Structure 1
Amino acid sequence: MRLSRVRVHNYRNIHGLDLELGQVSVVVGENRTGKTNLINAIRLVLDPAMPYAERKLTSDDFWDGLRKGDPTYEPMKALETISITLQFADFQNDGRIAAVLFQGLVTTTPVRAEMTYVWAPDPTKGNKYRDGVYFGSNGSGKRVGPDLREEIFVAFLHALRDVEGDIRSWRKSPLKSLLEGASEALDPQQLEQIRANLESANSTLQSMSPIQQISTDLESELLGSVGRRQSLGATLRSTPPEPLGLVRAMQLYIDGDRARRLSAASLGGQNILYFALLQMGFRAQILQKVVSHTLLLVEEPEAHLHPHMQRAVLENLTPRDGQTSMVVTTHSPHVASAVDARHLIRLKSGLTGSTGFSARSAALSSREWDDMNRYLNATQAEMVFADKVLLVEGYAEEVLLPAFAAILNIDLDKEGISVCAIHGTHFESYLKFCDALGIPWALLTDGDLDAQSVSAGQARVTRFSANNYGGASPASLGMFVGDDTLELDLYATGANGSIVDSVLVELGSSNTGSRVGAWNGKPSKSSLISEVVVAGGKGRFAQRLASELVEVPGYVKASLDYLLASK
């Protein structure tokens, strides 16, 4: 089984969100785009452990756009409704969960079932608001009881989770299901013998004068305070008296035989331990048939983890069977790079509330998806977090563009613009990927003139436009082409030639100066590129030139202006 779709209506900053989900969904987006609200929406439908106070919604939980600028508008007085619908797929071969979900069947080809949470006025009770979860998509089906929802175990990890506190709390601890399962498999006679031995040790400890004195003094204090009738009979014990209590009383320690308390571990170490316990608990509950499916909802799994551990933990949590689904929110490129790019979902805020974009909607071939997964390493995965993306050919552009932006008084970070080099001219799949995630983009490519002065770059962007955008003008789409190569275009712009000459002489060989001088300010493409290679290559040349105050080529400035105007 898997959670295949979520629709949210009028909930907080989400007005009308409709997202297709996979077995794994990794949700990215800037702050205040609705990532936490999406997690909470799913919990409202499925999580019977969600506190009543959080389930009882108020006017503040309605989408602000309903007020249409009127601060006096009260959504609940206007009888507005909040609804959240979850759709499930691939459950027909699991008898237990199918018996539950078939009551909410909405389509048979393919098989899909839905549950809907509704916060709405009840006409039979004077329009008093009440919540409920119902089968079907419109809230008019049979009400779903908590016992049925418990077939799907929901594990929610808040971004500000208290790992140590949760592990030590019997009610919240992921150890609970593991220890309960273990206690059922223990030999009762062995357990009783262990209890007797521990009770003997406990009695010896209690009889020691300093310990005994504490108990005596405490009882005297209570008698003097509230009298014998209200005295609590407090005692000091190191072990509980009943056999099963011994198992529940077990605590987790670290560092092997040193048995240090969990608080001695780093916050990152505590998170790693917590995730490992969760995985063990999920497997145990499925094997013991306590539940039919587990749904893991995690906010920011990267908290306190080293980049390598972020990737390792997420890869370990990623479901590899049909009995677990996972929805993760993250701000970490390392987490985003650890999953198949098709699992990425991006939320974006706007005047009509948060909107969602799914990478899986990109029309890419299997080979293109493989390329995209290799590309989105931890460095390039910044693309999916950017508000806008400038796609460039290679490392030289990636180095120089931030310098050019600074010369133009453009702060790329404040504008949310990421410069991403694709290391080639195969832009088309990246454009499709950005379009699928709703990321505004522009691209820069060399003109690459041939011997007949025909621009291969212009032909390139014209083809992209014809294939994907109905043949619109490339510049109107955000595609900007240089006159030839970046190095030549830079040299030919304003007074940049003398600056480029001096950089080449500084980085080049002992003969560079004479060769550069022979140009008389008009190098050929081959001679300029030859000197760039001698100077250490395009990357080294770009690194050094980025320190100089050059005039920015017109097509580069046009690409940045285009992105600044994009929404």
Structure 2
Amino acid sequence: MRITKINVRNFRGIFNGEVLLPEHAVLVGDNNIGKSTLLEAIDLVLGPERLSRRPVIDEHDFYTGKYIDLEGNPVPILIEVVVTDLSENQARHFRDHLEWWNEQSQNLLEGPPPEETDIVHVKPALRIGFEGKYDTEEDDFIGSTFFASPTKEDGTHDTFRTSDKRLCGFLYLRTLRTGSRALSLERGSLLDIILRLHDDKNFKIWEDVLKQLRDLPVAENPELGITDILNSVQVAIRKFMPADSVSNPHMRVSDLTREALRRTLTVFMATGVKREDGSDYAAPFQHQGTGTINTLVLALLSLIADLKQNVIFAMEEPEIAIPPHTQKRIIDGVRSRSAQALFTSHSPYVLEEFPPEQIVVLKRHEGQLTAVQATYPPAVKPKAYKEEIRKRFCEALLARRVLIAEGRTEYDAWPAAARRLHELYPEEFRTVEAMGVAIINAATDTQITPLGNYFSMLGKTVFAVFDKQGAEQKTLIDSSVQYPFEAQEKGFENIVLNGTAESALRRFAMQIVDGGEWPTHLTAQKPTSTTPLADLREALRSYFSWAKGSGDAADLLAICSKEEMPEFIVNTLISIQKIIEPPEATDLSVDEDDAETLPEGEAFTV
């Protein structure tokens, strides 16, 4: 079984959204884009324990917090999940609710025409829904899951019960929140799931533990004083109540109910520290390191997958507090043991483990969630994909906005200039990172256009900065990105050297000379405090050419004042910031994507 499609309406930050999922997938995008919301939505439909929590939903689970319309009618949260690849047992169990999914057209067939159901790419599917709303009579929030097909004559649907959900085998792991209770026996914990899979042992454990605890003496030694106090309490109470109603008060470790034990029982693990007597010191498992706990979660997942076939795992950020090689093991281990594995991640080491078609890039605009599966980036061959995605493309895939720089020098220089301006004027300028912009090195001006098309296809807001172009090349760039910025000089080094004030050029040159870093083969051009400006620029041009790709242009911009910095660079950064954060947009609750409303596709010439 695997989840093929999910529709979400009016849930948290998503007013409306439809996402198609491949066999395995990693959901990527900027923070607060909707990655965790999608997994939470699936959990509301398929999670066996999800509806047992109180409350099932609350006010903040509704889009913009609106759960009642102007007429006083409830505004429901609606979620629908389509699952395919059913096992024989699942198909037999759900036979009265099956529909048919066309893998080529990626939709459900209208009705069950027999001539189409035998086609190879048409398979049985199960459509399941969740509806949550505010109950005005009970003054409470309610939620239920149901089979979306068939619809009864009165418009209702059969209930999708907890036993049905367990047969689907969905398990949602919120990494930061799951580790602290993974080895507890709370309902829905990993250890509880494993115990449920051993049906014959589930009942016996509680009876055995309860019997032991009933007989366990607690503070019964008179020297401790507890028994004397309790007896005094008994004597005092008997002044007001019959003697047979209150007797023999004593201490126990808990309420001695199953629910109390679920909250109390904790697995202890050795910490690697020895006591004075040489024995191991053990502590509750949640006191272990975060990386150890998360690795422990992986081990429990392996047990669950071995005990229960056809499992769908959904996992948030498996990289947290875990080194790269373990991240890879988690991804490979979970994926190999599951019918479907769904992840959210910000890690390049996680992303490189997935082929492009399994990277699902999310974008949200005015509550509308869209998703697109990635493809191989331009000019990147499959053999070089892993290295390239980690080095060049990962940050851009995870961001909402992308700035394409023409080469390595520009890739280093633009963020350095933005950081310098922010350092000098923190209230006026933002860093590139603070604006949510990821920079990508195009390596050459001819790659700006294909990269612009690629990231635009993924739903990113795309900026490009480049030097003077020919008419044909400029037209191609303008059509591929939303916000192109063209300089009026050819060569970024010329933009920097001709646009930077003389004072900054001399300061930078003398730092290199005084630091003993001026190259010996350029000794004839070594600058001095009296070198004419034209000669100084030529000397630094030679130096930049020799040190190309070493970030020296960025170092120069990093020592400039705003007035010393090239106007093209300052004005371009101002323009980008105004596009992302228009001066009039003072309401911080507005989605940043909504602010990007300036005209697109026309080159900004500064």
> Aligned-pair distance for 1:153?
2.3
Query: Is the contact between residue 312 and residue 338 of structure 2 (CA under 8 Å) also seen in structure 1?
Result: no
What CA distance in whole angstroms lies between the structure 1 residues aligned with 2:416 and 2:385? 27
How far apart are residue 285 of structure 1 and its match?
1.9
Alpha carbons of structure 1 residues 492 and 387: separation in structure 2 relative to 1, 3 Å:
same
Q: Distance in 1 between matches of 2:70 and 2:412?
A: 51
Counterpart residue number, 1:492:
498
1:359 aligns with 2:373: yes
1:374 paired with 2:382, answer no
For residues 330-371 of structure 1, the C-alpha deviation after alignment (integer angstroms, 9 at most, x for no partner) is 455554455444433444444x315233333x5868955665
Q: Does the C-alpha gap of structure 1 residues 235 and 378 become closer, same or farther in structure 2, counting only changes over 3 Å?
A: farther
Q: In the TM superposition, what is the alpha-carbon distance from 1:401 to its structure 2 partner?
A: 0.7
Match of 1:544 among 555, 561, 575: 555
Compared with structure 1, are the counterparts of its residues 322 and 333 closer, same or farther at alpha carbon in structure 2 (3 Å cutoff)?
closer
- State the alpha-carbon separation in 1 of the partners of residues 341 and 481 from structure 2: 43
Deviations 1:471-511 (A, max 9, x none): x6568652646632211232233645981796286242357
Deviation at 1:46, TM superposition (A): 0.8
Query: Aligned pair count?
Result: 511
Question: How is 1:10-409 mapped onto 2 (pairs within 5 angstroms)?
Answer: 10-52=10-52, 54=54, 56-57=56-57, 61-64=61-64, 74=69, 77-91=72-86, 94-100=87-93, 103-108=97-102, 109-111=121-123, 112-119=125-132, 131-136=144-149, 142-158=158-174, 160-161=176-177, 163-169=179-185, 171-176=187-192, 178=194, 251-255=267-271, 258=280, 260-261=282-283, 262-286=285-309, 292-298=310-316, 300-303=317-320, 305-308=321-324, 311-312=327-328, 314-320=330-336, 323-328=339-344, 330-332=345-347, 335-336=350-351, 339-350=354-365, 352-360=366-374, 362=375, 368=381, 371=384, 373-377=386-390, 381-405=394-418, 406-407=420-421
One-letter code aligned to 1:492: N
Measured at CA, do residues 318 and 529 of structure 1 come closer, stay the same or move farther in structure 2, by a change above 3 Å? farther
**Paired residues of 2:502 and 2:533 also in contact (CA < 8 A):** no
Q: For residue 3 of structure 1, report the CA deviation from its aligned partner.
A: 1.0
**Deviations along 1:527-546, whole A, 9 cap, x unmatched?**
87643344x44415235323
| TM-score where L is the length of structure 1 | 0.71
In the other structure, the counterpart of 2:456 is 435
C-alpha distance in 1 between matches for 2:147 and 2:71: 21
Structure 1: give runs of 5+ residues left out of the alignment: 68-72, 287-291, 448-454, 466-471
Residue identity opposite 2:452 in structure 1: L
Superposition map of 1:453-532 within 5 A: 459-460=472-473, 462-463=475-476, 465=477, 477-478=483-484, 480=486, 483-493=489-499, 495=501, 499=505, 503=509, 506=513, 507-509=517-519, 512=522, 514-515=524-525, 530-532=542-544
Query: What is the one-letter code of the residue matched to 1:97?
Result: Q
- Name the CA distance, whole Å, in 2 between partners of 1:21 and 1:315: 17
Secondary structure at the aligned position of 1:48 is classed as coil
- Structure 2, unaligned runs of 5 or more: 103-120, 273-278, 423-427, 581-595, 597-606
State the identity as a percent.
16
CA deviation string 1:367-409 (max 9, x = no partner)? 5566554323278522233332212233322221123334485
The 1-side partners of 2:26 and 2:437 are apart by 21
User: Offset at 1:49?
Assistant: 0.5
Equivalent position amino acid for 2:38 in 1: L
Equivalent position of 2:434 in the other structure: 414
TM-score, normalisation: structure 2: 0.67
How far apart, in 2, do the equivalents of 1:375 and 1:532 lie? 26
| Partner SS, residue 539 of structure 1 | coil
Distance 1:164 1:384, change over 3 A: same
**Which SS does the other structure have where 1:74 is aligned?**
coil
**CA displacement at 1:14 relative to structure 2:** 1.2
Equivalent-residue separation in structure 1 for 2:170 and 2:364 (angstroms): 27
Q: Is the CA contact 2:380–2:388 (under 8 Å) kept in the aligned structure 1? A: no
